Structure 1
């Protein structure tokens, strides 16, 4: 997308997002994405040569190849929500091959999906685009509904189908989070032993995070701490929702924080709030990719571009967007993915 068209799309948000200067956390404190991310960041870590190769395979594929940025198509909603709710808007995607084709045609670095989706097409496509196998899921068919993440297969299953990475979710703050933490820490260790990279869906979940009618599940301080826990258990990349507010610790009066988080390290600007998420990913050593969220129709393109701009200018590594792309005609989904990637390719959109 040309810069003029992007500014027109953003409307009255253009100046607010594109000219913002971050005075909370200096960009010099952040390890920014670069073409040399593996050599500059991971080469000094405990990751093996095989893991480094897998990370490079992911970052070296698609339209964002060799930029340090990452565009991933995630399609696990058929299990996480239901196949009907996910694919009824576009029944084309009941067929797993079309999911993979969308990621390829859309120029993505990789495709993240279930054991079933990627497994049934692995012989045909595992060598054509990096596979990221999501190894655990929340299923909503049991009665009453339970909000828990259950392993659907093994890391070895993912390795056997040729995946370069595994993905998993931990619901930080939930009653089940201690078990999930242990399961996924062990799974990530096994993935690293087999030479695969790891991506953590790093979400908060607890009804106590809703206080006086305000939902703090996506607050910068709570999601920032979730990120910090996620990188601690071995995530190479963190997937996180874009922050929508702040002050979760103050509202819940649970856990410990510092007034400096709110007085110095954050403001109410979305780029500053997201910069705090990046800071908690070991100052950007571990890449932050923000999620695209659900599809609302005509506003999807503008919302996706805004999320990409906020992520990039905050110091994040990219976007992981699914429903906004696959719940529309195939060609429109391809265009959506490429427009988002254009944000990361646009040298005029710089770190705030």
Structure 2
């Protein structure tokens, strides 16, 4: 994809390609690159086998050797229901097609459930990095509960050939303390077995919705990221910020005035950069989620998200529904378009 095509898809927001950060400069960040494993992880306490598996992840797919990541996550069948997730394209009720999409789409890895990846492990676990998502929020219980429940164990993921495990914590929820304890134990065991860890650092509390949805504010998501890297997540998955000022609006917690103007000016790239900053200045890679599928505008929205992530200093995107809720060829094309942003040399990290 050329820079002109990226600008065309951005439309009225093409100025995103020229924005220079006024808060935290890129010189302070640990940016993605071919030597990211050596710069960021070799000095750490991660076991050698974790480094090896992170290296395989980074050296797979169309983004191999760049330091950037494109992951396909398909665990929506549990929370959103299989019908809601796969009715737009029923072939994805078959786990094999999920893994095939990740391969055809040039992804670095595929993240899914124990059932999905276990069903095809012997055929695919040696071909593309498997990331087993260990906990989920199922919404068949009535009335609905919003909690993360363990569906699988680390040893089972290891036995099937997975090289990474993932989990979600609903930071801000009443159940978050228990989830923190569970995920801490999971990640410690995963590292002992040589698997890397991915944490979905989502905020979940109805009280966080006021004049805006502060569950996607830069300051609160940034703090969720910081808690995630404290748990030794090797990759942080986070929704891209849509606002700032969660702490002041909710009138709780501790913050600082510099986060609302000086360090984090009001701009999407600045907000996302603050998420990167909270990932130990980028030592831990930030991948933003691609969001739900809206149909016609999916490509433009995906490219916008990728541009903001890359220019902020992020590590890539993890996009699911936009890809698997359409025919495989179209889904692979959309994933390729996201990857093209990270492969485009004219889309640079904002100064």
The TM-score range, normalised by the shorter chain, is over 0.9
1:17-96 mapped onto 2 (5 Å cutoff): 17-96=16-95
The equivalent of 2:150 in structure 1 is 151
- Kept in 1: contact 2:3–2:347 (CA 8 A): no
The offset of 1:252, in angstroms, is 0.8
The offset of 1:3, in angstroms, is 2.1
The equivalent of 2:317 in structure 1 is 319
The equivalent of 2:302 in structure 1 is 304
The offset of 1:265, in angstroms, is 1.1
The offset of 1:293, in angstroms, is 0.4
The offset of 1:11, in angstroms, is 1.6
SS of corresponding position for 2:42 = helix
The equivalent of 1:217 in structure 2 is 215
The equivalent of 2:342 in structure 1 is 344
Rounded Cα–Cα distance in structure 2 between residues aligned with 1:306 and 1:209:
25
The equivalent of 1:279 in structure 2 is 277
Rounded Cα–Cα distance in structure 1 between residues aligned with 2:74 and 2:288:
15
The equivalent of 1:175 in structure 2 is 174
SS of corresponding position for 1:41 = helix
Rounded Cα–Cα distance in structure 2 between residues aligned with 1:226 and 1:56:
26
The offset of 1:74, in angstroms, is 0.3
Rounded Cα–Cα distance in structure 2 between residues aligned with 1:21 and 1:258:
23
The equivalent of 2:202 in structure 1 is 203
SS of corresponding position for 1:102 = helix
- Kept in 1: contact 2:101–2:328 (CA 8 A): yes
Rounded Cα–Cα distance in structure 2 between residues aligned with 1:309 and 1:110:
21
Q: Deviations over 1:199-223 (max 9, x none)?
A: 0000011111112x32100000000
1:286-301 mapped onto 2 (5 Å cutoff): 286-301=284-299
Rounded Cα–Cα distance in structure 1 between residues aligned with 2:132 and 2:259:
35
The CA RMSD measured in Å over matched residues stands at 0.6
Rounded Cα–Cα distance in structure 1 between residues aligned with 2:93 and 2:49:
34
Determine whether 1:113 maps to 2:103: no
Rounded Cα–Cα distance in structure 2 between residues aligned with 1:299 and 1:141:
30
Rounded Cα–Cα distance in structure 1 between residues aligned with 2:160 and 2:263:
43
The equivalent of 1:4 in structure 2 is 4
After the TM superposition, which parts of structure 1 deviate over 6 Å for at least 4 consecutive aligned residues? Answer: none
SS of corresponding position for 2:288 = strand
The offset of 1:23, in angstroms, is 1.2
Gaps of 5+ in 2: none
SS of corresponding position for 2:169 = strand
The offset of 1:2, in angstroms, is 2.1
The equivalent of 2:233 in structure 1 is 235
Q: Deviations over 1:112-134 (max 9, x none)?
A: 00000000000000000000000
Rounded Cα–Cα distance in structure 2 between residues aligned with 1:174 and 1:5:
41
Determine whether 1:186 maps to 2:185: yes
Gaps of 5+ in 1: none
SS of corresponding position for 1:217 = helix
Rounded Cα–Cα distance in structure 1 between residues aligned with 2:6 and 2:41:
34
TM-score (norm 1): 0.99
Rounded Cα–Cα distance in structure 2 between residues aligned with 1:332 and 1:139:
29
Rounded Cα–Cα distance in structure 2 between residues aligned with 1:5 and 1:210:
36
Determine whether 1:99 maps to 2:90: no
The offset of 1:65, in angstroms, is 0.3
The equivalent of 1:126 in structure 2 is 125
